[in-house]
Amino acid sequence: MKLSIGHRLFLAVWLTVLAIGALGIELVRWQLLDNFSGQQIDADTSFLDRLGRSLEAKYRLHDDWSFLPQGSSQRKVWLREEYERTRGSGASFDPASGASSVAYRIGLMDSQGQYLAGVLASPAMVAFASIDRFARPLVVDGRPIGALVVARPQNPGDALAVAFLIDQQAHLALVAAAALLLSALVAVLFAVYFRRPVVRLVTGARRLEDGLFNTRIELRRSDELGELALAFNRMAARLEDAERIRRQWIADTSHELRTPLAVLQAQLESLQDGVRPMTAENLALMERQIRSLSELVDDLYELARGDLGQGRYDKAPHDIWRLIGEVFADFTARFRAAGLHASLGDAPERCVVNSDPSRMRQVIANLFENSVRYTDAGGQVSVAGGVVGNELHIVIEDSAPGVPEAAVARLGERFFRVDDSRSREFGGAGLGLALCRQIVAAHDGRLVFRASPLGGLGVTIALPLDDR
């Protein structure tokens, strides 16, 4: 049978409370019987015959039990007094005086086994106190009319304790019932207290399973379940962001692919219709669109491989500043043609980084290419390096135009382009900086964008140095 967590908690708590209660009762029983042991004991039941004959005579006189008192409390005391009277004591029971405890352990039943007078040990008390019951039959004219029943402890020294327990068994039963109800109530409250947040978490998980990533759980708790709810909300937020990025990724990819494909289709249709002649210039135009489309697909492929952790990197200790110098030399003519003054600073004292040189060339070249494309003629580009802690910081800065402050934080997002001057008209699909950021992250580094003091964009590449 499948039990819910609420039922499991209820049973666990309730059984634990019952076990503790049973242990406490057993301890009380042991202490009680131990303290009563050694007292003056009167387990003599020889007076039962005398009491029995007296009751048989009264029954014969009345021909029934109508001579018994009406109230149950009076009947309880009446049989006790009858026993003491037949013993010849005439005094009530006082444990300190050494009087008999039998009077407090004796009960009267009719021929059907129904209670009439005195006290009868309940089955629960018989089991709890480990007692036996001795019955003295009552017979009138050969016909059974009932019996006198005496509770006998297995250890004669426990007679007084058993007498006390039997006398208080009704109160003990009420206490036991109240304890059971209270423990059940505590178990229910405890189970509900823990089950309710679990149900919310399960419901939230099912909503996430259905694609409802805006699901959040309002659970103000300071325990582990509260921490679990916070973790759930953080996970849901990340899933929501991932879904938003995925949809944006699909939309942007479709948009970027549609543009060169539309141009190619229009050019092919114009060639087929004879609108444009089959010239080298028109073919070159189509070839440029195909090359742009191929570069876009390659960039998408590299980003996807990086997301899956399948990007291939052949890392080894390399002098990064020397590599930067080589890429800078390759771009010298490009800088001059764009009317930019470019400068390369001195090499830092430590430049060795565990890196893939081809990948790092790709990053540096991409950043230089952005400066060439987006910096106004007559501007400048500076490259500097330094060691901060155990990191090599490579700083590339260019002059105006700058990047709006709101857009700086989004640089490196896929397909993101700054409107205004850094726009589609200069080419690119907005994947270059995303690739740079992914490559630098694969080298355990950081790519940080900020406004440059020169008036343009400043980029810092922070890479951990190799000290081997």
- Same-domain status, 71 and 133: yes
- Same-domain status, 302 and 343: no
Interatomic CA distance for residues 456 and 323, integer angstroms: 24
**Closest C-alpha to 440, from 372, 371, 363, 378:** 363
- Same-domain status, 258 and 324: no
E strand or H helix at 56 = helix 47-62
Question: For 94-108, 229-243, 280-294, 381-395, which range has the lowest pLDDT when averaged over its residues?
Answer: 94-108
State pLDDT tens for residues 24-44: 555 555 554 455 444 433 444
Mean pLDDT of 44-63: 81
| Residue 402, both tokens | 């700058």
Assess if residue 4 is contained within a domain.
Answer: no
- Same-domain status, 157 and 60: yes
Percent of the chain with pLDDT over 90: 10
Interatomic CA distance for residues 61 and 461, integer angstroms: 117
Contact 342, 382 (CB under 8 A): yes
State pLDDT tens for residues 114-134: 888 888 777 666 666 667 777
Which of 152, 167, 182 is at the close of a domain?
167
Side-chain half-sphere exposure of 39, counting CA atoms within 13 A = 23
- Same-domain status, 344 and 381: yes
Q: Which domain holds residue 100?
A: 37-167
Q: Please tell me the predicted confidence (pLDDT) of residue 381.
A: 92
| Residue 403, both tokens | 């990047």
- Same-domain status, 330 and 406: yes
- Same-domain status, 250 and 228: yes
Question: For 173-177, 297-301, 411-415, 436-440, which range has the lowest pLDDT when averaged over its residues?
Answer: 411-415
- Same-domain status, 281 and 327: no
The neighbouring-strand residues paired with 135 are 149
Q: Please tell me the predicted confidence (pLDDT) of residue 423.
A: 43
Interatomic CA distance for residues 271 and 134, integer angstroms: 120
What angle (nearest 5°) sits at the alpha carbon of residue 169, between those of residues 65 and 81?
40
Mean pLDDT of 54-75: 86
Mean pLDDT of 19-23: 65
- Same-domain status, 278 and 323: no
Number of domains making up the chain? 3
CA 23 to chain centre: 34
Side-chain half-sphere exposure of 229, counting CA atoms within 13 A = 19
State pLDDT tens for residues 156-165: 656 666 676 6
Side-chain half-sphere exposure of 74, counting CA atoms within 13 A = 5
Q: Categorize the per-residue pLDDT at 252 as very low, low, confident or very high, splitting at 50, 70 and 90.
A: low
The residue with greater pLDDT, 73 or 426, is: 73
Residue 413 sits at φ, ψ, to 5 deg, of -75, 150
- Same-domain status, 338 and 300: no
Q: Please tell me the predicted confidence (pLDDT) of residue 43.
A: 40
Q: Which alpha helices (H) appear in 37-122, and where do they start and end?
A: 47-62, 72-87
Residues in the chain: 468
Which of 307, 336, 365 is at the close of a domain?
307
Interatomic CA distance for residues 105 and 151, integer angstroms: 5
Q: Round the average pLDDT of the chain to a whole number and report it.
A: 77
Interatomic CA distance for residues 409 and 418, integer angstroms: 11
Interatomic CA distance for residues 233 and 216, integer angstroms: 5
Which of 144, 167, 190 is at the close of a domain?
167
Assess if residue 1 is contained within a domain.
Answer: no
Which residue, chain included where needed, has tokens 């009751």? Answer: 55
